[in-house]
Amino acid sequence: MVQLHVKRGDESQFLFNTTVDAPLETVTQQITAVYNGRLKVDRICSEFPELADHGITLPPNMQGLTVEQIVDLKLRDEWEDKCVPSGGPVLKADEIGRRNGHAPNDKMKEVLKKTMEEAKALISAKQVRANCCVTMEMVKEALDQLRGAVMIVYPMGLPPHDPIRMEFEEQEDLSGTQASLQVITEDECQLWWAAKEMQRGKKLQDYIGKNEKTKIVVKIQKKGQGAPAREPLVTDEQQKQMMLNFHRRQEELKKLEEGDDDSYMDSQWSDRQALKKQFQGLTNIKWGPR
């Protein structure tokens, strides 16, 4: 199996296993699916703390309004009575007015928190250091875990306008958000290796040869962005370590130089002839008129 270390810019994303005779069209599609799937898991996990702290999302026409404004406009959230958390709600107002303030109890919060951590760990970039490849099955497992946790806490489901439900149903609207800049569609995805674009229509072996026991770093990039920037030869962490070692060495040399100081030779206690001079009466001799 060939192992691809997928990066976006200088950031590691995940490891991916394939074969040298795999068509690059297929490899690109698979990598894109895993890449975007990980982003989806991250987006859902980013909403979990808000769901745990402040309950479901308000309808779009009520978001950002104060209680007084909602009363004046005679607005009502029809989903408030339908989407009640298991064990009953705990009132905790959302300061930004995005959620209804009917939060789950502590036990249900723990379910959401624990599941979120497990799902994030499953597709984390730390899997690269553990030499563990991330597959689409692992992404789907993470999504299933998150979906199951939501069903436990909200048996009646979430309102259709809640971003978590929209993510699960592939209805999310990312236009105008920072998240939209991270997503790469299958058609616009390009893979780069050794400053070369890996053209679709070819096979992986056309670039790396026929050795299955190969590990390479590929970078995922949008079409039209050109070749990704080359990585620095020394990472920031390595640079910091080198500077630390340099300053440490400088201090050691400074101490050695101080240790080579021979000014002590002028001291009386270092004079080897002191005893002889004392017997001969040659100590404490002062020159000059009395």
pLDDT tens for 45-99 read 999 999 999 999 999 999 988 888 888 988 988 898 899 999 999 999 888 989 9
User: Taking a C-beta distance cutoff of 8 angstroms, is the pair 31, 4 a contact?
Assistant: yes
**pLDDT band (50, 70, 90) for residue 254:** confident
Mean pLDDT over each residue of the chain, to the nearest integer: 88
Dihedrals phi, psi of 281, to nearest 5 degrees? 70, 30
pLDDT range class, residue 233, cuts 50, 70, 90: low
265 pLDDT band (50/70/90 cuts)?
low
* Alpha helices per DSSP H over the chain: 24-54, 67-72, 106-122, 126-129, 136-153, 163-168, 178-182, 205-208, 236-259, 274-279
Full strand arrangement of the beta sheet holding 215-222: 11-18, 2-8, 215-222, 189-193, 196-197
For residue 53, the model assigns a pLDDT of 95
pTM for this entry: 0.77
* Residue 264 predicted with pLDDT over 60: no
CB-CB contact of 143 with 48 (8 Å): no
Q: What is the pLDDT of residue 239?
A: 82
More confident residue, 238 or 182: 182
CA distances from 217 to 14, 157, 187, 214, 262 (A): 10, 42, 21, 10, 57
